Amino acid sequence: MSRTSHPALAGVPLIGAHVPASGGLAKRGLAYADAVGAECLQVFVTNPRGWAATKGNAEQDAAFREVVTERLPAFVHASFLINLGSPDQSIAEKSATSLAHTVERARVIGARGVVVHTGSAVAKGRYDEAMTQVRELLLPLLDALPDDAPPVLLEPTAGQGQSLCSTLEELDEYLHRLEHHPRLGICVDTCHFFAAGHDLAADGGMNDFLDHLEKVRAGVPVGLVHANDSMDVAGARKDRHQAIGSGHVGSEPFRALLAHETMQHVPVVIETPGDEAEHAADVALLQSLR
Ligand SMILES: [Zn+2]
């Protein structure tokens, strides 16, 4: 473990939460993380449903950076609107601009990765065209990143519509198209992969999934796990997160995830519904399964 990791937790996956930051990245975000018992965190640095290139507040940025580099590893989630595969050229361009802005903000605040969804072709029959576009927009962006910028963590989606990457087979192809670029990483969302058809709740399902992922990632690191239960059954292709242990995944697969040898240095954050008390309960439950 590096000296910046939580000293009491060497060798086990850190468990934390997505935290709100309206009211100040440090003032609200760090306070929320501490209130829910988080050992790591994820935040938005822009409106998650907008395109605005929100500027930071220098004082909050500095206070946040000091804490997250010392004891509370942080990740940034990019806007949900980003779709590098969009057939609408203005959306595709705004997506690339927004992602570049978000990575720069993440660099400034000391975050360890920027999570971005793998996107959608939107219309049927344009997978190749969409993937060519993702490649043409993303590779130059990655090539231009300064050395101290965090990696871009690709998060496969639940498989809605003309999703470009939801299953491990699709992730394999997606990573090949992006040449396993050294500035890329992967963000595994348990609800998304379950919804996409990987039955993590089956006997040995989580271990099988993680063993398969280990082959597919071909050296691209898993940077973060989004631990979310699912309101819907495996293969439903619906992105509806549920509290840990209260959905169709159940709590045991999370015990298996936290024990898997490939996951011991991968931070885990919840993105479950609910308020501060419910988030604290989810974090505590995962910590008890670890
Ligand atoms: Zn997620």
β-strand 268-270 against 222-227: which pairing, if any? parallel
CATH number of 7-289: 3.20.20.150
Listed as ranges, residues in the chain with pLDDT below 70 are: 1-9
Q: Do residues 189 and 160 make contact, with C-beta atoms less than 8 angstroms apart?
A: no
Joined tokens for residue 76: 């940034």
Q: How far is the CA of 270 from the centre of ligand 1 (A)?
A: 8
CA 5 / ligand 1 centre spacing (Å): 23
Phi, psi (degrees; rounded to nearest 5) at 74? -120, 150
pLDDT at 11: 81
For residue 78, give both structure tokens.
């990019």
Q: Name the one residue in this structure whose structure tokens are 């802005």.
A: 101
Q: Which of 260, 269, 270, 262 is nearest to 290 (CA)?
A: 260
What is the 225 CA–ligand 1 centroid distance (Å)? 8
CA of 65 to the centre of ligand 1 (A): 23
Ligand 1 centre distance from Cα of residue 223 (Å) = 13
- For 220-256, what is each residue's pLDDT tens digit? 999 999 999 999 999 999 999 999 999 999 999 999 9
**What residues does 116 pair with on adjacent strands?**
154
Model pLDDT, residue 4: 46
CA 135 to chain centre: 20
Residue 156 CA to ligand 1 center (angstroms) comes to 9
The string of pLDDT tens digits covering residues 9-25 is: 678 999 999 999 999 99
Separation of alpha carbons 44 and 22, rounded Å: 9
Half-sphere exposure of 186 (CA within 13 A, CB side): 28
Closest CA to 167 of 212, 116, 122: 212
Which residues, including other chains, have CB under 8 Å from residue 50's CB and lie 6 or more apart? 79, 81
pTM of the model: 0.96
Domain boundaries, the chain: 7-289
CA of 190 from ligand 1 middle (Å) equals 8
Q: Where are the beta strands (DSSP E) in the chain?
A: 15-18, 41-43, 74-77, 114-117, 152-155, 184-189, 222-227, 229-230, 241-242, 268-270
How far away, in angstroms, is 205 Cα from ligand 1 center? 19
pLDDT value, residue 9: 67
Helix or strand holding residue 170 (H, E): helix 168-177
Q: Residue 220 is which amino acid?
A: V
pLDDT (0 to 100) of residue 8: 57
Query: 102 with 45: CB under 8 angstroms?
Result: yes
Query: Cα(42) to centroid of ligand 1, in Å?
Result: 10
Distance 213 CA to ligand 1 centre (A): 17
Q: Are 253 and 190 in contact (CB under 8 A)?
A: yes
Cα(207) to centroid(ligand 1), Å: 20
Question: Over pLDDT 70: what percentage of the chain?
Answer: 97
Ligand 1 centre to CA of 154 (Å) is 10
The first and second tokens of residue 129, run together, are: 């065209």
DSSP 57: -
